[in-house]
Amino acid sequence: MGDEEMEEWEPVDRDHVVKFFQILNQQSHQSIMSFNQQIVQYRGKVPEQHLTDLAVGHFEDSLAKTQAQISVGMGISLEDMEDASKYYEEKGDQQVKEQLRHLKNLYLTVSNLPTDEEEPELPDDLTVEKMVTVVTAFFKASNNVIESVVQELLAKGGDVTNPETAMKMSMAIQEKSGPATDEAIKRFNLNSTTIGPAMDKFREHEEIKTAIMVGSEEQHQILRTYGLMT
């Protein structure tokens, strides 16, 4: 890039960069949670390093797809987003740096490598029975968001089979599900940051596995109802 081009270059708006990584981090976190529940039955039966390798591969594939989807939905190229994120990071923008740090730590966590994040403190009164209620409330809130977003889109004549429309729908779901699930589980002194570690703590219990399976199946049923899943 020449000097004249450098002078004319304008980075992607900082708020768009923050939004991009907020959605990316949230969706990546949910993908990790979902994958961990899928492989929990193999822990102790399959070498841990093999499970870690599978998790890293899943994370990287999911990350690449999600980045591309958000890029299309926001109408911003990945190259421009990468350049802008580096620009704001070098300028010391705290929100951008925080989002980038969180993404890095997600990768380190999946890779079973040390992170610079402290282990979140979980409520002392969490029990298996309470976690069943938490998981149920979490999925109910998440599934309600999915259904409401799809219904709103269809009411406006949207075609959910159109790739661009489907991507905008996915982004809307991601933006709304975080606040909705936070609201649903805050009475248990949990939030979107601590729900994952809380599930991990109790993931070996059959009651938790069943609650997650029921919530996931209800979500799949909603998606099948609207032709979003076969």
Give how far the C-alpha of residue 151 lies from the chain's centroid of Cα atoms, to the nearest Å: 22
pLDDT score for 230: 63
Burial class of residue 196 (count of CB atoms within 10 Å of its CB; 0-12, 13-18, 19+): middle
CA distance 106 to 60: 11
Cβ(24)–Cβ(70) under 8 Å? yes
CA distances for 94 relative to 42, 90, 116, 133, 190, angstroms: 40, 10, 16, 36, 25
- Enter the pTM of the model: 0.66
Q: Output the CA–CA distances (angstroms, integers) from residue 184 to 60, 140, 144, 179, 188, in the order listed.
A: 30, 9, 11, 9, 9
**Which pLDDT belongs to residue 46?**
82
Q: Residue 223 has what pLDDT?
A: 83
Amino acid at 89: E
38-42 contact pairs (CB < 8 A, 24+): 40/203, 40/204, 40/209
pLDDT of amino acid 17: 95
Q: Per residue of the chain (230 residues), give pLDDT as tens.
A: 455 454 577 899 999 999 899 888 878 887 887 787 677 667 778 888 898 899 899 999 999 988 998 888 888 999 999 999 999 999 999 999 989 998 998 898 888 887 776 677 899 999 999 999 999 999 999 999 999 999 998 998 888 877 778 777 877 887 788 889 999 999 999 987 788 888 888 888 889 888 988 888 898 888 888 877 66
Q: Longest C-alpha distance within the chain, in Å?
A: 64
pLDDT, position 86: 95
Residue of 35, 37, 30, 38 whose CA lies nearest to 58: 35
**Domains of the chain, residue spans:** 11-110, 128-225
Q: What does the pLDDT read at residue 120?
A: 75
Nearest to 54 by CA among 72, 44, 66, 42: 42
